Amino acid sequence: MEVLQTVFMKFSHIERTFKMFFDLNKITSCLLIGAILLFGVFTEAEGRESRAQSVEGLYQKAQKSYYSLKSSRKKQAYRHHWMATINKFVAVYENYPSSSYAYKALFNVARLYHQLHGVAKNSNDQERALHFYYKVISEFKAGRLTDDSLFYQGKINFDRKNYSEALGSFENILQNFPRGDQVAKAKKFKQATAPFVKTKVVKSKAIAKARAVSGKAAPVLLGRIDYNQKPDSTQVVIHTGGRAKITHNRLRNPDRVYINFLNTRLDDGVKKDIHVGGDTLERLRISQFDKTTSRLVLEVPKEIKTVISQKGGVTVVDLIAPKKQPVITAKKTAKKEIAVKPEKARFISRSKKARAVVKPVPVSISPGTKRVVRREASLIVVDPGHGGKDNGATSKRGLLEKEVNLKISKRLKKILESRYGYRVILTRTDDTFIPLEGRGGMANENSADLFVSVHVNAAKRLSAHGIETYYLGNANSEQAQETAERENGELVHSVKDNQVQQILASLISTTKINDSAILAGHVQERLHSSIKKKYSSVKNLGVKEGPFFVLHDTNMPSILVEVGFITNSREENRLRKSAYLDRLAASIARGIHEFKKDRGPTI
């Protein structure tokens, strides 16, 4: 009992002590809580200010890139400069979608794609421009750029002879933006468009007004997808709660068709992924691509023809197989397997514009078998630089560039064939001298899809190091010019500089140059990122332009890779090791494969 009393007294004492402490500190506690709340208010305000500065800074960088692009005709000639600027504006929209800067950024993305189409004549760019103009109109409250977006949207549809849609855009401007700066042009184009539209486009003024005020139309529900298979075709039917505006495109490697249903949302009951497994449709999948776009992807064989039509709230996609060709039965011959190998290059005299020719190798067919036309894998020509009497660059310890180039190229061929399934031809398989004119000719004669020339760099400055990738263009630095002169060898002295410039000028806006720049970007990125994971002091010298004759001579996307400096002691040591050469080859192969895979917008 005494023990319990003692314990009770102790707890009573503790209770009185705490009570006295909190009574004495009541005012202090209130002040402390107030200070914490005030600090939170200031912190939140600072956060808002910091975010505002971040979006403004991001937008200013994009704007600076835009002005740099528009002030340079040279930059406008190359796709990667356009894409770099576009990506900067996209970053503003994606990181700060509710800011006022997002509205302007998205409009700039649409305009850049629109202008890029005028340079490159790539229909994909026009599709993207339409898509982003629509997003400006539908996702944001109507502002000073909304009528501009409507006009350009109408102009694209007018150029594409989609006259009903074009007329709708011009009428929207006249009805809802009567004081805007696009009214005069909209009137002019409306008059030009009207004769092509048989039935007058009637639109609800209430809906149009609501859209102009709110900037958003109610999304259409995508509620059901059906498909019906026949022996030579498949029909896919998409049901929406009203007519949905669509954009679509065909992509390769792997082959697929995608259709964007704009201003729509998916019903929860729609099955997202269906494996069909037919001859004309392998698989279909649909997803909410962004807040206002549903995307349907149809995985199809390469030869399938696609026809898309709409009526009301129904979109029909017909996938049609080509007519079957008559089967040719081969003559009976002894069964024989022949490995297809490129013949040694054969050259014509230099005066007749030397071209390396690879003769077609006859292939025997087993008795009773039928000759079936199959889709062939892409053909890549890999060019080990230099060879024979041309050693290329030489290190202080006697390592020859021509030997390193051949080792890497053989590894690259093996990886491209075994890992990615491509067909590959080497311009040389041993220490043979092949003139520069003949290397590109070999790629042309075999109708190659890509040409990749492998080299090792050199410089008078022994500390120079790093990896760089070139595509055809003017040498825009002394180092690039020096590299080009070394790789061009004696041929550079036989052609006057103004002739080189004329050749480059004639090629500068072609698809080949644009694709070469993109290919160079993929390979350079993979090389640098892969090598730096394993090795230190790996310098990214970037993608550059250079007047390389071996690239000028080709008709397909072509690049020249400089995998390191043989004159740098650290990089020379690495170039002597098999593991390093393996990594270089694997990185180049992966870059090539990514280029082949990403020939269109990412799905």
Do 185 and 229 share a domain, yes or no? no
Same domain, 282 and 297: yes
Residue 166: the pLDDT is: 85
Same domain, 294 and 356: no
Same-domain status, 208 and 230: no
Residues 6+ apart with CB under 8 A from 266: 222, 286, 287, 288, 294
Domain containing residue 434: CATH number: 3.40.630.40
What is the reported pTM? 0.40
pLDDT (0 to 100) of residue 35: 55
Classify residue 205: in a domain, yes or no.
yes
Q: Report the half-sphere exposure of 566 (CA within 13 A, side-chain side).
A: 22
Q: What is the DSSP code string of 15-31? A: HHHHHHHHHHTHHHHHH
Is the same domain home to 480 and 524?
Answer: yes
88: domain CATH number is: 1.25.40.10
What is the structure's pLDDT at 547?
60
Residue 34 lies in a domain: no
Taking a C-beta distance cutoff of 8 angstroms, is the pair 297, 285 a contact? yes
134 and 199 in a single domain? The answer is yes
175 lies in the same domain as 275: no
Q: Which of the listed residues 194, 214, 234 is the one where a domain comes to its end?
A: 214
Q: For residue 312, tell me if it sits in a domain.
A: yes
Residue 95: inside a domain = yes
Nearest Cα neighbor of 559 from 510, 515, 503, 502 is 515
Three-class SS of 93-117: HHHCCCCHHHHHHHHHHHHHHHHHH
Angle at 497 between CA 496 and CA 500, to 5 degrees: 95
Does residue 13 lie within any of the structural domains? no
pLDDT of 316: 87
Which are the contacts of 96, defined by CB distance < 8 A and separation ≥ 6? Answer: 51, 54, 55, 58, 102
Let me know whether 494 and 554 are in one domain: yes
* Whole-number pLDDT of residue 502: 39
Please give the residue range of the domain that contains residue 108: 59-214
Instruction: Find the CATH number of the domain harbouring 278.
Output: 2.60.40.3500
Q: Is residue 46 situated within a structural domain?
A: no
Interacting residues of 229 by C-beta distance below 8 A, sequence separation 6+: 276, 278, 280, 281
- Identify whether residues 230 and 274 lie together within a single domain: yes
Q: Domain ends where: 169, 195, 214?
A: 214
pLDDT number for residue 366: 37
Listed as ranges, residues in the chain with pLDDT below 50 are 1-4, 7-8, 10-11, 14, 18, 21-22, 24, 41-49, 199-215, 327-375, 474-477, 480, 484, 488, 490-511, 550, 600-603
CB 389 within 8 A of CB 410: no
pLDDT computed for residue 39 by the predictor: 52
Residues 6+ apart with CB under 8 A from 163: 157, 193, 196, 197
Give the C-alpha separation, 451 to 357, whole Å: 15
pLDDT at 136: 87
For residue 406, being part of any structural domain is answered with yes
Query: Do residues 177 and 243 share a domain?
Result: no
Is the domain of 294 the same as that of 227? yes
Q: How many domains would you assign to the chain?
A: 3
Residue 225 and residue 200 in one domain: no
Q: Which of 183, 198, 214 is the last residue of a domain?
A: 214
**20, part of any domain:** no
How many Å is the maximal CA-CA distance in the chain?
A: 122
